[in-house]
Amino acid sequence: MSHTPRSVALLLNLAHALDHLFLLVFATAVVTIARDYGFARWEDLMPYSVGAFVMFGLGSMPAGRLGDLWGRRRMMLVFFFGIGASSLLAALANNAWQMAAALTLIGSFAAIYHPVGIPMLVQHAKRPGTTIGVNGLAGNLGIAAAAIVTGFLVEWFGWRWAFVVPGVVSIALGIAFAVLAPHESEPPAARGRQAAAPLPAAMLARVFAVMTAASATASLLFNLTTNGNGQLLAERMRGVVEDPSTLGTLLACVYAVSSLAQIVVGRLLDRVPLKRLYLGIAMSQVPLLALAAYAQGWWLYAALIGVMVLIFGSIPFTDAMIVRYVDDRMRSRVAGMRLTISIGISSLAVWLLGPAVKAGGFDMLMLAMACIALATTAIVAWLPGEAATRRATAAAAAS
């Protein structure tokens, strides 16, 4: 197979949308679920979702290994059917601990997509940056869908249907994937495809360290915002907009607009030096997060759009580095190791979100995120530049 069939590429992009949607259904519906379970404050229920994000990280390593050694097609089938069934279980949960168990299962199957689905999508891509950008757009549209679809289902049918509908959709897409995705003649580990820019071991280790650390800080920002934006808007738009479905639509618009940044960044990655582009985006996050810490009403809404454009715009860089520097035979394993470390760290954000907002408010949280963006900038500055990478690649090819 010299290219990925369009139907399969579409299903892989839809899978990315579902992956992020499933991880945010609970956070979007948490106020209603907390009330149903007898909790006085949504912040007290939020920590029960941490298992989903812990497993989203820890499960990435075995998922990546199985993707390389057993087959990416098989693992994607496990993803579609497993996460769909787990969501149906979440719809049946009658207390916080049952919900925690179901969410942990959702996170375990959600862990499959990034180390398996993205390498499967880009393994034959002629313009990997653009392919990653489109895939990132799909993932972020899933986030937007979580805001608007979950809000609508919760308001009109109850929170349980917010888990049932995407669960059924995932299972249906799994059936389509089983029919349309070509069988792999051999697992990726048995193939002979090299990286676009092979590096010597020392520089590759440096790239991996930067990739993992920057991914961890970027994931912290991603988790804190996507899990907290709904409640941030509800608090800062009080007296301006208070209808839950309208707030959900406003948040979905933020994510839809921000998602377009991935297309732009993806195209730029095929043309502009990676380090320079990444540094510019990471540095720009700092002042906008500081502004959002104190903004109210529509000013907060405008600042939030800017913040999310930059946070979403930073997502393609890690996958672009993997495609550029890592042999396809082991991309799923490298992605899995990176995700296990970075998401394992960033999953703390979900556990801390409720208590942090309860203790210091959203203003202190946004200022803390500005400091995290500064840390990302410092980490990316350690990435080898284009000239050093070219010299190292040439030396590796000569040897």
- pTM for the full model? 0.73
CA separation (Å) from 243 to 178, 240, 250, 302? 41, 10, 11, 19
Range in 17-26, 44-53, 96-105 the model is least confident about: 44-53
| Dihedral angle, C-alpha 213, 218, 223, 225, nearest 10 ° | 150
Kindly indicate the confidence band of residue 396, based on its pLDDT and cuts at 50, 70 and 90: low
CA separation (Å) from 353 to 90, 235, 309, 363? 21, 15, 21, 13
Average pLDDT, rounded, for the chain = 85
Judge whether residue 217 has pLDDT over 60: yes
Going through 203-326 in order, the beta strands assigned E by DSSP cover none
Question: Is 254:305 a contact under the CB 8 Å cutoff?
Answer: yes
Residue of 137, 107, 101, 108 whose CA lies nearest to 121: 137
Contacts of 118 (CB under 8 A, 6+ apart): 16, 132, 135, 319, 335
Query: Which tens digit of pLDDT belongs to each residue from 161-182?
Result: 999 999 999 999 999 999 999 8
Range in 2-11, 198-207, 221-230, 377-386 the model is least confident about: 198-207
Fold category of 6-398 in CATH: Growth Hormone; Chain: A; (1.20.1250)
- Mean pLDDT in residue range 110-128: 85
Query: Which tens digit of pLDDT belongs to each residue from 1-48?
Result: 456 788 999 999 999 999 989 988 998 888 899 999 988 888 788 888
Place of tokens 């719809």: 91
DSSP states of 307-332: HHHHHHHTTHHHHHHHHHHS-GGGHH
Query: Which tens digit of pLDDT belongs to each residue from 67-93?
Result: 888 888 999 999 999 999 999 999 999
29 backbone φψ class: left, alpha, beta (φ>0; ψ -120 to 50) = alpha
Query: Which tens digit of pLDDT belongs to each residue from 294-345?
Result: 999 999 999 999 999 999 888 888 878 877 777 767 778 887 887 787 777 7
Question: Is 23:56 a contact under the CB 8 Å cutoff?
Answer: yes
Range in 142-146, 231-235, 276-280, 368-372 the model is least confident about: 142-146
**What gap in Å lies between CA 279 and CA 378, rounded to an integer?**
9
User: What is the domain partition of the chain in residue ranges?
Assistant: 6-398
> Buried b vs exposed e over 201-222: b needs ≥16 C-beta within 10 Å?
eebbebbbebbbbbbbbbbbbb
Place of tokens 């907009």: 241
Kindly indicate the confidence band of residue 394, based on its pLDDT and cuts at 50, 70 and 90: low
Q: What pLDDT, on a 0 to 100 scale, did the predictor assign at position 1? A: 43
